[in-house]
Each structure stands twice: as C-alpha cells, then as structure tokens.
Amino acid sequence: MGQRTNYVLVEGGGWRLHYSHWGANRLDVDLLDGPASTTRFIRAQHEVERDDWLDDVWCEGAALVDHDARQLLLFTIHLDGFAHRTALLAVLARTWPGWEIRWAYDGLEDIAAHVGVDRAVVRTAGDGPGGGSAAGPRDMGPLAPAEPDEHDFAVSLSVVDEQGARGYALWVESVLDLLHRGPGLVREVPREARLREFGAVPQCGVHVDRVRRTVAAWTGENLEGQAGARALPGWDGWRWTFWQDEYAAQERASAGAVVFPAVDLAGAVRELTQRFDRLADKDPVASFRAVHEKILQQDPGARPSPWTEAHTVTGPLPGERAALRAVLAALGGVPDDRT
C-alpha cells in the first residue's frame, strides 16, 4: 500500500534525495503553489542516502527541482487523463515563472540521469504499481476496443498500409502494451475497434506505417526507458520516432485517419481546482492511520511498515496561495478568495 515517490532537490552545485510513501497520487497538487513552496515541501520529506533510489517498478511519481538550472522535471502515473495533464502544465507554467517545466518521459530514469546517476540504477525488470520496466515482462492479453464514453483513457492506433489509413480506439494499460507486440500488433486489432473521431484526447497514441516501416508514438505518461531509445525492441528494421505529447503529429501522419478534439482547458482547470481543494491540506498519513485502526479491530496483530509514516504535509505562504488562486481563476477555475 502506498504511492511511493522520489524527490530530488538541486541547489548550490549539490543534490539531495527524498522519499514519500504517499506523494505520487497528489504530486500535481504539491507542486502547484510554485518553487518556494515546493522546495519547503521537499525538504520536509524523508531524506535518504543518494544511492537509495526507488526503481521503475515501485516508483509511481517523482519530481526534481533544480534551482541552479531553474528546471522542474516531473512525472506521475496518477493523472486522470490527458486533459488533467494539460491543465497541470498550464498552471505550472504560470506559478513557476522563469522555470523550464519538463515532463520525465522516461520516468525515474530521467530524474536520476539529470543528477548524473546511471539510468541502470533505477531500471529493473518486473511488474509493479509503476507499470514495470520496458525490459520487464508484461501480461499482454487480447486487444479490446475502448468504450465509447472512455476515449480519454484509451490508446489511439493509426495504421497505414497498401489499403490506406485507418484508426482504432483500444483499451490497453499503456502505450507500451501496443509497442511490445511488435509489427504483428496490427493483426491483433479487432475490427470493432475502428474509429476516426475521438470524443476526447486519449492517454497516448501509436502510429504504424507498414509501407515506410516506421513506428511512432506520443503519450501523456512515460515510456519507461524507450523515449530516448534509437530503436524499439521487436521492431528490427523499423524507424522509431517519439512525438512526446504532440498528439497532432498522429493526426498529420495518419492523414486524418484519427482526429482528436481540442482540450477544454477551462474545464480541465476547473476539475484541477476541485481536486486541489480536496487534497491540498489532506494528510495521507493521518488517513492511513484511520484505516489501520479499523484493520486492528479485525486483526489486532497487524503492524504496518514504518514507511507509512513517511510523508509530511506543509503549507504555502499566504501570498503563494493567493497567487495560485489568481492563476486558477484566470485559466477558468472557480474563483476563490481563500488564501
């Protein structure tokens, strides 16, 4: 149980590594108040030795705050779709003025590499809540079509071959669940998954051009070590391109075989504001203690890991919270005078 998170604080030419047991599913909320508030928050988390990283199996989110380069690098697997991520990045661009905001498309590997740590240190094979590494085994069952009202959690697939271009909406765990199938994935796609116009921007997309032998992908999540790869395992002789989060690149490459609507930024910011109001001052350690008290009634001998205490809630200064509220309101969030 937990949503394990690593934080890295870089300043004065050095860096420190911190850990939270509950930070990943609220990482967006903990970054919104800006660099000063986030820095105080990271300092309050449990500091660990610089070789005591999580790995790409168990890490569900991470953030690196580099004061020397004025860069924020982040990822989390706990966002509710592409629109949530779009709203988060739009707000961060305004509450972190003068900072470069970058998504860690290779997850914890990118965070570690930023401070000179070998990517292999955090890379492992296997399955876990973080999704498993790119080299690890994945349980790939039959491909299934996405439900019509769940396009925001689907994966878009576009295929170009001698018959033309066509699009599909698939229900899979992540973009890697398609890429790991190799070129043969096209034969596995059910006909009933055919779709051109999506009702929402999906989580990610894959484009396969069987004529040019090219494969490309974009995502709002992470590729677990494949984003920076020169070639994809299982795609020998194919050219690999990573489009980061540019879903419009798939529309262009497929000649309109898949079409996505524009993200409703104002609506997404309103939902982010509501999420912030629910979580900003909530203490996940206290919540777990309450759950554990109920468990003890059924199992008096139950003893949780001491790491369940590893999260400290901190608060912003009044001016920081007021600045955030102004940004949320300007972007379409519900106006709120609270500081």
Rounded CA-CA distance 331/94 in Å is 10
Rounded CA-CA distance 119/136 in Å is 15
Rounded CA-CA distance 241/217 in Å is 7
Average pLDDT, the chain: 91
Give the pLDDT mean for 174-200.
94
pLDDT tens for each residue of 141-155: 899 999 988 887 899
Q: What are phi and psi of 42, to 5 degrees?
A: -65, -40
> CA dist 114 to 8, 24, 38, 54, Å?
10, 20, 18, 15
pLDDT above 70 coverage of the chain, percent:
93
pLDDT for res 163: 93
Rounded CA-CA distance 29/324 in Å is 11
Q: Residue 239's pLDDT band (boundaries 50, 70, 90)?
A: very high
Kindly state the DSSP code that residue 100 receives in the 8-state scheme.
E
Give the pLDDT mean for 121-130.
64
pLDDT for res 335: 62
Give the pLDDT mean for 44-58.
96
CA nearest 113: which of 101, 125, 104, 126? Answer: 104
Of 2-6, 212-216, 306-310, minimum mean pLDDT range = 306-310
The 144-145 sheet, strands edge to edge: 144-145, 164-171, 155-161, 204-209, 214-219, 239-242
Give the pLDDT mean for 79-97.
97
Q: In a 3-state reduction of DSSP, which class is residue 109?
A: helix
pLDDT for res 288: 72
Please name the residue that has the structure tokens 């309450």.
Answer: 290
Tokens of 136: 């690890």
pLDDT for res 138: 53
Give the pLDDT mean for 12-21.
98
Rounded CA-CA distance 77/281 in Å is 21
Which residues of the chain form beta strands (DSSP E)? 5-11, 14-20, 46-48, 61-66, 71-76, 100-103, 144-145, 155-161, 164-171, 204-209, 214-219, 239-242
pLDDT for res 133: 45
At 315, which amino acid appears? G
pLDDT for res 295: 74
Q: In a 3-state reduction of DSSP, which class is residue 178?
A: helix
Query: Is a pLDDT exceeding 80 seen at residue 336?
Result: no
Higher pLDDT, 21 or 149: 21
Rounded CA-CA distance 43/317 in Å is 16
pLDDT for res 224: 81
Kindly state the DSSP code that residue 10 receives in the 8-state scheme.
E
